[in-house]
Amino acid sequence: AQTVTQSQPEMSVQEAETVTLSCTYDTSENNYYLFWYKQPPSRQMILVIRQEAYKQQNATENRFSVNFQKAAKSFSLKISDSQLGDTAMYFCAFMMYSGGGADGLTFGKGTHLIIQP
């Protein structure tokens, strides 16, 4: 079974600063997908960024980028130039490649990110 660990229950930074959220996972699989989801207060969960394990290049989406270290089983999220609207719960998630994702997403417990004005 796969596990996802997010060791930072809560983080707080000033607006415009850069913040990094950590995520580690445990799997014996070689091919898989990793995701970061954002869940704003009382709103639906939305996908922030994703990474295929077979790709060495780190994914980037505008102000969001990841540092994927496959050997270390680490998948951190960096948010640059943080904005007030980035305040949310952030979940790291894992999906096995085999079975076409039939085992669903495995989520970590989340990090509550607060952006201070």
Partner 1 sequence: DTGVSQNPRHKITKRGQNVTFRCDPISEHNRLYWYRQTLGQGPEFLTYFQNEAQLEKSRLLSDRFSAERPKGSFSTLEIQRTEQGDSAMYLCASSLRDRVMDGYTFGSGTRLTVV
Which x/- pattern, by CB under 8 A, does the window 74-113 give for partner 1?
A: -----------------x-x-x-x--xxxxxxxxxxx---
CB of 17 or CB of 54, closer to partner 1: 54
- When the beta carbons of 12 and 31 are compared against partner 1, the nearer one is 31
Stretch that binds partner 1, among 13-21, 41-49, 57-65, 66-74 (CB under 8 A): 41-49
For 16, 21, 75, 88, 109, the CA distances from 6, given in Å and listed in that order, are 23, 8, 10, 15, 6
Among the listed residues 25, 35, 68, 75, the single contact to partner 1 using CB under 8 A: 35
Question: In this structure, which amino acid lies at residue 110?
Answer: G
| Token pair in block for residue 43 | 């709103």
Angle at 7 between CA 62 and CA 56, to 5 degrees: 45
**Bridge partners for 104 per DSSP:** none
Counting residues that bind partner 1 (by CB under 8 A) gives: 26
Applying CB under 8 A, the span of 14-22, 37-45, 61-69, 71-79 interacting with partner 1 comes to 37-45
Residues 14, 2: Cα–Cα separation, whole Å = 34
